[in-house]
């Protein structure tokens, strides 16, 4: 009888892990979203006004409507924020006013039965609440707490607040970005928050592995700036060796040519091409019906092409602008040329490769409806990530957490709501 593999359904990889999420904006919420996608129970503890200006009358102003579905704030704008909903799927929402004794008491009770706390406030915040790691460790010695402020918990920049577009310059990233001879340019997206989140997940998982062996938790001090500086070591080393600052290259490369983005048919359509060998150059010339360029002495070898990039880019651009960017990318890839179409958001949603891999996922959020979101880029063969719920409404799980986990009576929950310790509407939500 032939051996037959028995299909076994495994629980998600992080099933049974409880995480308290105090994260705001991007880096903290992304850290906990990754944990939630792989099965952790993530309870987002937020203040009633914690979703920012979107929660009040300013949400009705045109300058702030870009982040709402169809640019409509709706009846509950605090639950319709696109970025919030993207970063907080698979989580529960518990509103707690941590400035009040009752809120602190509930938080401590939750810490006692949790595994991880993640926060990305400035360093003074949790200490001012009386909820820093030394205090929480007394409640739960197995607790792992990750703090991820802009510049870490120590040092002369300790108290400096920061967002991605102000941390990246200090970390060294902005100085590397821009065109040759031009000024530093900000990155097209806030990569620093993503780097911090990925480092944060790695730190939490490493601490969990250590706790499995020792039985004790620990404190994790993550500097968002340092997570960025850590990935540009080659440029720091280059300065040490040569005494010179690295040049900014824009779309160009230090040795490859052609190397850059080239305009195609239509408005703002482009392909990216990277040629690093003579063989690749010859394949590009043939694929673009320009075999005569192979014999052009200006482009005879890699060094010649690099030295004549202005003329080369002009010739390549004259060819690419005759073609559809997606069709051209497929054609060049088929010829063995490293090329990729520059896709916008609309094209990513329709991309056949992403569809084939099931990457884009339709998620329903109670106030925003059904929308496609980027899914999980890692596939586990035995315990895959799952997206089970959309982002929670503000305070949606107050009763579930307080009653179901902490055993608080319905009467007490009602009292907490009357005192403004918990709730499901921002304080100024009634103002039009």
Residues known to be catalytic: 193
DSSP-derived letter for residue 402 is I
Q: Which residues pair with 262 in a beta bridge?
A: 271
Secondary structure of 117-131 as H, E, C letters: EEECCCCHHHHHHCC
Matching residue, tokens 């994790």: 220
Distance CA 158, CA 123 (A): 7
Q: Please list, in sequence order, all residues whose beta carbon lies within 8 angstroms of the beta carbon of residue 159, skipping any fewer than 6 positions away.
A: 122, 123, 124
Residue 333, exposed/middle/buried by CB under 10 A (0-12, 13-18, 19+)?
middle
C-alpha triplet 274, 239, 305: angle, nearest 5°: 25
Q: Give the CA dihedral 77, 78, 80, 86, nearest 10 degrees.
A: 160
Across the strands, what pairs with 379? none
SS3 (DSSP) at 170: helix
Contact present, 413 and 113 (Cβ < 8 Å): no
Which residues lie closer than 8 Å to 147 by C-beta, 6 or more apart? 119, 120, 121, 123, 126, 133, 153, 219, 220, 221, 222
Instruction: Specify the residue for token string 């060094």.
Output: 303
Q: Are strands 259-263 and 270-274 parallel, antiparallel or unpaired?
A: antiparallel
With vertex at residue 164, the alpha carbon angle to CA 163 and CA 167, rounded to the nearest 5 degrees, is: 85
For the chain, what is the total number of helices (H) and then of strands (E)? 17, 11
Q: Using alpha carbons only, how large is the chain's radius of gyration in Å?
A: 26
What DSSP line would sit under 51-120, residue for residue? TGGGGSGGGGSGGG-TTSGGG---S-GGG--HHHHHH-TTEEEEE--TTSHHHHHHHHHHHHT-SEEEE-
Largest CA distance in the chain: 86
Pairing between β-strand 41-46 and β-strand 91-95 as defined by DSSP bridges: parallel
């Amino acid at each position: 009888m032939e051996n037959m593999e028995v299909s076994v359904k495994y629980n998600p990889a992080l099933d049974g892990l409880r995480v308290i999420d105090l994260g705001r904006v991007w880096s903290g919420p992304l850290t906990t979203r990754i944990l939630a996608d792989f099965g952790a129970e993530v309870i987002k503890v937020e203040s009633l006004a914690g979703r920012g200006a979107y929660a009040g009358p300013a949400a009705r102003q045109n300058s702030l409507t870009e982040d709402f579905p169809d640019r409509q704030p709706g009846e509950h704008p605090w639950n319709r924020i696109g970025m919030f909903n993207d970063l907080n799927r698979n989580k529960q929402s518990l509103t707690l006013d941590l400035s009040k004794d009752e809120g602190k008491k509930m938080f401590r009770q939750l810490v006692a039965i949790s595994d991880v706390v993640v926060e990305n406030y400035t360093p003074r915040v949790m200490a001012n609440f009386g909820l820093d790691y030394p205090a929480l460790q007394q409640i739960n010695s197995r607790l792992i707490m990750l703090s991820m402020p802009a510049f870490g918990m120590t040092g002369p920049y300790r108290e400096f607040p920061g967002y991605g577009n102000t941390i990246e310059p200090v970390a060294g990233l902005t100085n590397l970005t821009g065109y040759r001879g031009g000024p530093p340019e900000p990155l097209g997206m806030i990569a620093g928050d993503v780097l911090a989140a990925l480092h944060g997940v790695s730190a939490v998982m490493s601490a969990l592995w250590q706790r499995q062996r020792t039985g004790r938790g620990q404190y994790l001090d993550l500097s968002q700036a340092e997570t960025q500086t850590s990935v540009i070591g080659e440029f720091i080393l280059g300065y040490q060796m040569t005494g010179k600052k690295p040049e900014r290259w824009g779309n160009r490369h230090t040795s490859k040519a052609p190397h850059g983005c080239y305009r195609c048919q239509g408005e703002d359509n482009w392909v990216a091409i990277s040629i690093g060998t003579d063989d690749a150059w010859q394949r590009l010339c043939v694929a673009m019906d320009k075999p005569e360029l192979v014999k052009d002495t200006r482009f005879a070898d890699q060094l010649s092409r690099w030295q004549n990039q202005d003329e080369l880019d002009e010739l390549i651009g004259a060819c690419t602008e005759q073609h559809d960017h997606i069709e051209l990318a497929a054609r060049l890839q088929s010829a063995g040329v490293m090329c990729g179409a520059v896709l916008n958001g609309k094209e990513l949603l329709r991309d056949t490769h992403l569809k084939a891999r099931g990457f884009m996922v339709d998620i329903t959020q109670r106030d925003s409806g059904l929308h496609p979101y980027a899914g999980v880029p890692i596939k586990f063969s035995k315990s895959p990530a799952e997206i089970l719920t959309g982002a929670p409404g503000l305070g949606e799980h107050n009763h579930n957490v307080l009653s179901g986990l902490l055993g608080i009576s319905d009467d007490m929950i009602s009292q907490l709501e009357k005192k403004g310790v918990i709730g499901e509407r921002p304080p100024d939500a009634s103002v039009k």
